[in-house]
Amino acid sequence: MAPNNFKIGVVAVLAGWIPSITAAPVSSNSDQTCRKTSVAILGAGMAGITAAQALHNASVSDFVIIEYNDRIGGRAWHGDFGKKSDGSPYVIEYGCNWIQGLGNPGGPENPVYTLAKKYHLANTYSDYDSILTYDETGFTDFSGLIDEYGTAYDKAAAKAGRLLVQNLQDQTMRAGLSTAGWNPKHGDMKKQAAEWWNWDWEAAFPPEESSFIFGVAGSNLTFNQFSDANNFVIDPRGYSAIIDGEASTFLTKNDTRLLLNTRITNITYSDHGVTVYSHDGSCVSADYAISTFSLGVLQSNAIGFSPQLPGWKQDAIQNFAMGTYTKVFLQFNEAFWPEDTQYFLYASPTTRGYYPVWQSLSTEGFMPGSNIIFATVIGDESYRIEQQTDEETKAEAMEVLRQMFPNVTIPEPIAFTYPRWASEPWSFGSYSNWPAGTSLLAHQNLRANTGRLWFAGEATSAEYFGFLHGAWFEGREAGAQVAALLQGRPCVQYGNDRLCGERKHYDPLTGTSPLSQYTLLNGWAVSSLYESGDD
């Protein structure tokens, strides 16, 4: 099965672009010809639909949602895969797949979990203790290293808390782990695999590329505030059923406020309004707009902004990091792995992060009898396999499985697929990550509005970046704030707190060492501004 077979609608749109290249977007002085609305919402993923619902809840019904794909859901994206005994396909999630942090009795509940219950979304507890470990010779027990990491992580987390509370300088997650006693050698492939399982698999980046303070804080906010459980979604309607469900509470069937298959090319914005131009020459002129473009799309320069986004906004966009997380699915005629186990961790003898985590869907509670297993890779391994053919990637995955299970004759898979997230023109990656040495105020610049153009999505969530519930919180807040501005209400109440008016941004962001400290005493004898040959 070709990896991109699901995107029939997208392909149709791509083909539709070609004639429109000559029909360049009209300039802003022809706004009169554009469809008018109060709020243009750019993207119909979790953030966009939640923003629209917040507007609806505030009695703002005049909005238009503009979506690239032929469906609602964004990165909550599923497709058919393989076949059941009756010949019908299974449904797999290409993108987000877990409800992360559910909620403890009496405590706050993750809003995504609330929606999952509302729509009876099928989901199963992911048991991270149900794991077996392997290397190139087959089963070999190094699960003790996972516990060893956990002990060091707890120590590191406490230190990250002190850094946050005392406003001390951020570090890389690598430095935080090392000073807490977890310092794996590059050649210790089992420790590297245990670390990947614990860190990279969640962050979609290695510890070197992750903030110590905000990496730990983000994990705390989801898993300490809600609960430490993760549930895996296995619903035949797809994870997006909760987003479809919420959309149907305020959108009618064929609602003219939802424009699917519409690729935005240009945005003009000011303190008075926003005009959004699309590939087909259509445009929408709005009092306000809420961009829910992924960080990857914003980073790619795929959209022309007029005027150019201000420097502080461009810096924020380029400073935060977009991760790529790739699930490689295989279906077999039979399950040759222990079906009572959920996870299989593989330590490649040469390459960190080479098909490290395998997950059985054939296990009881998931899709028993499906004989489906999938591997996950991130980052450079994702970029590498995106450039390969399915056949090349399948051969690599099969070689790894044959190393892991040397005593069984493993047949060729009967189905194989994986998404190519880094190349998807509507996402350019999977989800965001907080880089080391980047402050909360630097992040606030990612959320802040530029004129009447607002921003929402998982990446704009300081507390829940990378998570689907981050997109929900940010969509709700942007929608509620914009509704208040439209209605001339000063503030919106959130529990005991309130938010009023536009968002703050910080320009400039100051450094941590004042220029007066750049001295010989501190090892800075020569100015970096000096050029030899200058007078």
Ligand X SMILES: *[C@@H]1O[C@H](CO)[C@@H](O)[C@H](O)[C@H]1NC(C)=O
Q: Which is nearer to ligand X, 25 or 238 (CB)?
A: 25
Region from 24-32, 37-45, 389-397, 423-431 binding ligand X, contact rule CB under 6 A: 24-32
213 binds ligand X (CB under 6 A): yes
- Token pair listed for 83: 């076949």
Return d(Cα 88, Cα 80) in angstroms, integer: 9
For 312, phi then psi, to 5°, come to: -60, -35
173 binds ligand X (CB under 6 A): no
Nearer to ligand X, 405 or 518 (CB): 405
Regarding 265 and contact with ligand X (CB under 6 A), the answer is: yes
Q: How far is the CB of 54 from ligand X (least distance, A)?
A: 4
Binder to ligand X among 476, 482, 483, 505 (CB under 6 A)?
476
> Which residues have C-beta within 8 Å of that of residue 455, sequence separation ≥ 6?
290, 291, 292, 446, 447, 448, 449, 478
User: Does residue 357 touch ligand X according to CB under 6 A?
Assistant: no
Q: Binding-site residue total for ligand X (CB under 6 A)?
A: 28
- Which of 92, 221 has the CB closer to ligand X? 221
Three-state secondary-structure class, residue 274: strand
Which is closer to ligand X, CB of 51 or CB of 372? 51
Query: How far is it, in rounded angstroms, from Cα 275 to Cα 36?
Result: 9
Nearer to ligand X among residue 111 and residue 238 (C-beta)? 111
Q: Convert residues 282-321 into a mask of x (bound to ligand X by CB under 6 A) and - (unbound).
A: ----------------------x-x---------------
Q: By three-state DSSP, how is residue 85 classified?
A: coil
Q: What are phi and psi of 14, to 5 degrees?
A: -55, -45
Nearer to ligand X, 357 or 480 (CB): 480
Reduced to 3 states (helix: H, G, I; strand: E, B; else coil), residue 401 is helix
The 105-124 site mask, x for binding ligand X (CB under 6 A), equals --------------------
Q: Indicate which single residue of 19, 107, 108, 138 sits in contact with ligand X (rule: CB under 6 A).
A: 138
Q: How far is the CB of 148 from ligand X (least distance, A)?
A: 19
Tally Cβ neighbours within 10 Å of residue 523: 7
User: Which residue is it, tokens 């794996």?
Assistant: 184
Determine the interface stretch with ligand X among 157-165, 170-178, 387-395, 425-433 (rule: CB under 6 A). 157-165
Q: How far is CA 166 from the centre of its chain?
A: 29
Three-state SS string over 469-534 comes to HHHHHHHHHHHHHHHHHHCCCCEEEECCEEEECCCCCCCCCCCCCCHHHCCHHHCCCCCCCCCCCC
Position 27 contacts ligand X (CB under 6 A) = yes
| Cβ 215 to ligand X shortest distance, Å | 9
Q: Rg of the Cα trace of the chain?
A: 24
Q: Which of 60, 91, 116, 216 is the binder for ligand X (CB under 6 A)?
A: 216
**Of residues 9, 16, 89, 161, which one binds ligand X by CB under 6 A?**
161
270 binds ligand X (CB under 6 A): no
**x/- letters, 405..434, toward ligand X (CB under 6 A):** -xx---------------------------
- The nearest distance, CB 27 to ligand X, in angstroms, is 6
Contact stretch for ligand X (CB under 6 A) within 213-221, 231-239, 392-400, 426-434:
213-221
Nearer to ligand X, 59 or 528 (CB): 59
**CA-to-CA distance for 408 and 270, rounded, in angstroms?**
65
Instruction: Determine if 25 is a binding residue for ligand X (CB under 6 A).
Output: yes
Q: Least distance from C-beta 335 to ligand X, angstroms?
A: 15
Q: Does 259 engage in binding with ligand X (CB under 6 A)?
A: no
Q: Which of 42, 47, 48, 50 binds ligand X (CB under 6 A)?
A: 50
159 CB burial (10 A radius; 0-12, 13-18, 19+): middle
Candidate list 130, 224, 341, 351; residue touching ligand X; CB under 6 A: 224
What's the DSSP call for residue 368? T
Q: What is the DSSP letter of 120?
A: T
Binding letters toward ligand X, positions 380-409, x by CB under 6 A: --------------------------xx--
When binding is defined by CB under 6 A, the residue of 139, 142, 223, 518 that contacts ligand X is 139
Count of other CB atoms within 10 angstroms of residue 398: 16
Binder of ligand X out of 217, 229, 284, 357 (CB under 6 A): 217
Residues 6+ apart with CB under 8 A from 293: 42, 43, 303, 457
Please give the sequence-ordered ranges of beta strands (E in DSSP) within 87-191, or none if there are none. 90-93, 98-100, 123-125, 131-135, 138-139
Q: Which of 54, 66, 322, 448 binds ligand X (CB under 6 A)?
A: 54
User: Please, are residues 81 and 415 in contact by the beta-carbon 8 Å criterion?
Assistant: yes
Cα 245 from chain centre = 21
Q: Are 138 and 337 in contact (CB under 8 A)?
A: no
Residues at the site binding ligand X, with contacts judged by CB under 6 A: 24-25, 27, 50, 53-54, 57, 138-139, 157-158, 160-161, 164, 213, 216-217, 220, 224, 253-254, 265-266, 304, 306, 406-407, 476
